[in-house]
Chains A and B, each alone.
Chain A
Amino acid sequence: MSFSISNISYKYGPEQELVLKNASFEIMPGQVTAIVGPSGCGKSTLVSILSGVIPELMPNGVFEGSLEVAEDVLISVVSQSPENQLFGYGVEDAISFGIENMGLPNEEIVERVEYVLDLLNIQHLRKRSVATLSGGQRQAVCIASVLAMRPDILIMDEPVSSLDPNGKKMIQSVLSLLKESGQTTVIVDNNLDWFADIVEHVIGLIDGEVVFDGGKDVFFNDFAIQERLCVTIPQEVEIYLELAKRFPGLNKFYSLSEAKREITKLIGPAALDLAICQTAESAVAKQAESAVAKQAESAVAMQAESAVAKQAESAVAEQAESAVAKQTESAVTKPDESEEILTARGICKTFADGFHALINVDAGFAKGKVISMLGQNGSGKTTLVKHLNGLYRASKGKIFYRGQETTGKSVAQISKDIILVFQNPELMLFEETVLRELTFCARAQNNEFTEETALAVLEQYGLLAQRDEFPVNLSMGKKHLLTILSVLFSSAEVIILDEPTLGMDLHLKSQLIDIIRQLKDRGKTVIVISHEIPLVFRISDEILVLNEGVRLIQDTRQVLANCDELFARISISLPPVVLLSKYFGFASLCCDVDSFVREIAVRSTAEIPAAGLAGGI
């Protein structure tokens, strides 16, 4: 069985622009195919065409081209929000819904339900109600309900976008099982980082045109296309990309183990030893330094080769660069001495059903800092921020803003100082134009603004062309960007962003980082809740970790990067840069790709003369 589309063009109405332009590709049977592309490139339209929603439910569009597929081919879709897809109160009801619709005999329905429960290892969930499942479990049940229908092709539309790290892991293992079982699967997601190991075939779309159609290896080798497609790639690949700019000929790597192997080749075992030595006692380090210095003196005196001198120069330059970077890093991550603008003291929250959502949580948020909150779903992150902005009243404990208790103020009054942007932008948008939506906060809080300023912001973030459009019609990523941009016009000194990257491609994410930086530069405090751990380590000055309503730690990212046991306890993996920094024994752990690459460059250039010396002696 194969499924191919030939020269498909589509527009939603005769007068509207083409959303898909002459798209052709084939979905390989038994393979996992990824469809990637920037926000608004036509991925969702393609899913609608593949699944038959167009033209069956949307017959008014203009369709050209052909789908070459056998009549009895069954294509099913798992959407990004399982709560909108699952019919049935219990897990068994939800799984059997699709097969009941097929009119199969009861015995076969029972057999299929058992099969998918076993296949996805979710037998333990069968008697649970769907409403009580975690996000990952719900998505797994959704996949099971679709698989029970035995589709020839399973399409998954951003299946982990709203999941926490545990949920992502669960869906990763489900996907691996599907791959082993030979299920033809199509994943529509621009975040390739979570399923890079599983995918085999990649199709890239830009402005409705297929710009890439090939194997995973070819795709990961073509960095230009990855950038054009705004694909979020695994951080290991990002590291490779940056290192390759400095070290042409570096072997490619996609995983942590490959990265360790290839970077070891680059900085050499001697450099690795040197790195380990640097973390040892200073006396030993001094002795080693002295020995190396003597050897260097001797080598320079004996050989005085110009190449070595150049390398030494280069090494000195790199070391200087690294030192500056370290100083900057140290300044950023130094334990906080600045003014604490917002404080939570002894916050306890017990809901009406007796659930203890927060247990004696203390937290402090300093002016001009970016503080991220980490923890699995249900750890109390959102509950805590809802206390900070007054949406929830604590069962016990107090919130102080600039030393004053916030109790007694309405949420709208508090929003002048502390503003919360929800993770779902659709809950917030209601103005008739993008421009009005942007300035909503300013108008609600009676802040002065000029239309020129608003237009400049729209232009800077690529929304000017849509200034008069209905905000609800924007892509999910842009809707989210718009709600975040609107806080630029707010008077609030504390900005809380709950899962701000939801629905964003790489380009929008980089814009988000830019906004956070701008807010920080303006002295605002930014609190971010996110499951994107590399992003958290990249942008944060401090990280607050919550687990089952209890505050585990709040400290600088450097300190947090050393808390392996804590991260193991909350089942969250540290970012690859941190893990690699540890592996190579960096004294100061790197939290972002740039600083890591700089450090490797320094160590590498330090290694080359050493190797030369060894040969000379």
Chain B
Amino acid sequence: MGDFLQYVEVDSFLHKLDPRTKFVFFIVMSVLTSFVKSGAALLFLFVIFLAVWLTGHVGKYILVLANKVKVLLLFIFLLWLVLGAFRINEGPVICRTAFTVFQHPFTFSLEWFDLYKGCVFSMRIFLMISAFYTVVLSTNFSQIILGLRSWRVPYALAFGIGLVFQIIPIIVKEFSTIMEAQSSRGLEVEQCGALAKMKNYVIVSLPLMFRVLGKGHSISLAMHYYKLDFKVRRTSYKVIRTTYRDAVFSVVFILATVVTVFLQVRFYIPL
């Protein structure tokens, strides 16, 4: 839980990229995964992602992500499987049967195509989330702010986005510490029924709320101490520059996009 949804400090090719290059990667991948519905194209994209994760030394963190979203992916897979089971598709059949419910005839027809469709939709969602998470894992919040600023995003907005990424891990940690503190003085959160557990989680949410409010207050004080005024023009200590790494990554990335689009067109099966 400690490392989830936060930047991981590693000396890698991916980490050294200009944040703007990674933002473009995220935007294009988001568009691409919402448009691509071909299994072959998605598989190819997955291989590209795999290469990115391996060169970025973030593979184990992606596994953590996969573990966290597995229920969501399974739900999407099953949803499309169930929806598909009430449609007759071409191709090999796994199981097919007809029945009536309140005098309405239904055909339950599970084909290999339904499994394929479930996999495609799950994979799209996973790649979409992964694209975002890859950027989060390899870009710290200072770089995010710097990158957004160079795109002329107003500082207030850029700072707010950066702050969210700074605060999320803190809140996650606070929640876990509050749970520890409360259970240490007798609040049962392990060996109890679901209802009692839920009630106790609600109890814990109160100190969490106070802590979050306290953090918010401390942050506003700190902004005051540092004379942060969004109306005043701000300068910068660090300057981001694109390097040959960005060029290499962009070329590979453009080629991958072209190949994905080609595969999508060539191997698309209407879903």
Contact = CB atoms under 8 A, between A and B. Distances in A.
Interface of A: 51-53, 56-57, 76-77, 79, 81, 83-90, 92-93, 96-106, 109-110, 113, 129, 132, 145-146, 149, 352-353, 386, 389, 391, 410-413, 415-416, 419-422, 424, 426-430, 440-441, 444-445, 472, 486-487, 490
B104 interface: no
Nearest to A82: B222
B171 to A, nearest CB: 13
A89 to B, nearest CB: 4
Contacts of B211: 426-427
B103 interface: no
Contacts of B143: 89
A85 B186 contact: no
A76 B225 contact: yes
Contact of A92 (B141, B184, B238): B238
Given A79-B218, A149-B226, A430-B206, A104 B186 contact: no
B184 A422 contact: yes
Contacts of A57: 220-221, 224
A400 to B, nearest CB: 19
Contacts of B227: 98, 101-102, 149
A113 B225 contact: no
A104 B3 CA distance: 35
Contacts of A77: 221, 225
Interface string B1-25: 0110001010000000000000000
Contact of B186 (A83, A99, A113, A412): A412
B180 A386 contact: yes
A415 B183 contact: yes
A157 to B, nearest CB: 10
Contacts of B218: 79, 81, 84-85
A89 B186 contact: no
Contacts of B180: 386, 391, 411, 422
Contacts of A56: 224
B239 interface: yes
A87 B222 contact: yes
B186 A415 contact: yes
A532 B228 CA distance: 37
B20 to A, nearest CB: 17
Contact of A89 (B140, B174, B229, B234): B140
Given A56-B224, A411-B183, A428-B185, A87 B166 contact: yes
**7 nearest interchain CB pairs?**
A444-B186, A96-B237, A84-B218, A89-B140, A410-B190, A412-B188, A98-B226
A411 B238 contact: no
B210 A129 contact: no
B38 to A, nearest CB: 38
Interface of B: 2-3, 7, 9, 140-143, 163, 166, 170, 174, 177-178, 180-191, 203-204, 206-207, 210-211, 214-215, 218-222, 224-229, 232-239
Contact of A419 (B185, B214, B234, B236): B185
A79 B221 contact: yes
A77 B224 CA distance: 9
Given A77-B225, A87-B166, A92-B237, A429 B184 contact: no
A427 B237 contact: no
A53 B221 contact: yes
A85 B237 contact: no
Contacts of B210: 426, 429-430, 472
A386 to B, nearest CB: 7
Nearest to A132: B9
A146 B221 CA distance: 13
25 contacts: A76-B226, A79-B222, A83-B170, A85-B222, A85-B225, A89-B7, A90-B142, A98-B225, A98-B227, A99-B237, A103-B232, A106-B235, A106-B239, A109-B235, A149-B226, A149-B227, A410-B190, A412-B188, A419-B184, A420-B185, A421-B185, A422-B177, A430-B207, A487-B185, A490-B185
B141 to A, nearest CB: 6
Contacts of A53: 221, 224
Nearest to B207: A430
A599 to B, nearest CB: 41
Nearest to B234: A100
B154 to A, nearest CB: 15
A441 B185 contact: yes
A412 B226 contact: no
A101 B232 contact: yes
Contacts of A413: 188, 191
B37 to A, nearest CB: 37
A225 to B, nearest CB: 31
Nearest to A97: B226
A337 B225 CA distance: 56
Contact of A103 (B177, B184, B233): B233
Nearest to B219: A84
A444 B207 CA distance: 17
A9 B181 CA distance: 39
A106 B237 contact: yes
B207 A428 contact: yes
Contacts of A90: 140, 142
Contacts of B219: 84
Contacts of B236: 100, 106, 109
A52 B239 contact: no
Contacts of A51: 224-225
Contacts of B3: 353
Most buried by B among A89, A105, A428: A89
Most buried by A among B7, B218, B221, B222: B222
A105 B235 contact: yes
Contacts of A103: 232-235
B237 A109 contact: yes
A487 B210 CA distance: 22
Contacts of A92: 237-238
Contact of A412 (B166, B183, B224, B233): B183
Given A101-B226, A411-B190, A426 B207 contact: yes
B232 A427 contact: no
Contacts of A412: 183, 186-191
Given A101-B226, A101-B232, A429-B207, A110 B181 contact: no
Nearest to B200: A412
Contacts of A430: 182, 203-204, 206-207, 210
Given A77-B221, A98-B227, A422-B180, 10 more contacts: A53-B224, A56-B224, A89-B140, A89-B141, A89-B166, A99-B237, A410-B188, A424-B181, A426-B214, A429-B207
A419 B229 CA distance: 46
Most buried by B among A87, A96, A429: A87
